Amino acid sequence: MNFTYPKNEKLKSKITIGLLFTEGKSVAKYPLRLVYNTGTFGEGEKIKIGVSVSKKYFKKAVDRNYFKRVLRETYRLNKHLLLDNLDQPYSFMLFYQCKDRLTFEEINIKTVQLFEKFALQIKKEEEQSK
């Protein structure tokens, strides 16, 4: 199992991020929301992910950066749940959407639940398209 978050998995393209907000679909598990869209990337790249924490809920950059670090870490530890269920490339944005200051363990549990919910939604979409 490869528990890394390499540079080629980081979502940086403004065009791809724009497509996520205009054409992307969403799945949520309080306090997290995952927006996803299919995309085409370089060879061997199956996934691109970015994280965001709202300035509305956390005014200080220190607090936003802390929660972004936690989100990246929970993704890194649980990305196998996403990769096991993907058969085409996807781009993701992971959002922390509340004022509550959850612990790392709580956020990690919610991330696992969110990724499992995403996997179920993808399976439903594939069945409907057949």
Say which amino acid occupies 57: Y
Q: What is the pLDDT of residues 34-57, one digit of tens each?
A: 999 998 777 778 899 999 999 999
Digit-by-digit pLDDT tens for the chain (130 residues) are 788 999 999 999 999 999 999 999 999 999 999 999 998 777 778 899 999 999 999 999 999 999 999 999 999 999 999 999 888 899 999 999 999 999 999 999 999 999 999 999 999 988 888 7
Domain residue spans of the chain: 7-122
User: Would you list the DSSP string of 63-81?
Assistant: HHHHHHHHHHHHHHHHHHH
Q: What is the CATH number of domain 7-122?
A: 3.30.230.10
End-to-end CA distance of the chain: 32
- Indicate left, alpha or beta for 44 from its phi (over 0: left) and psi (-120 to 50: alpha): left
pTM of the model: 0.93
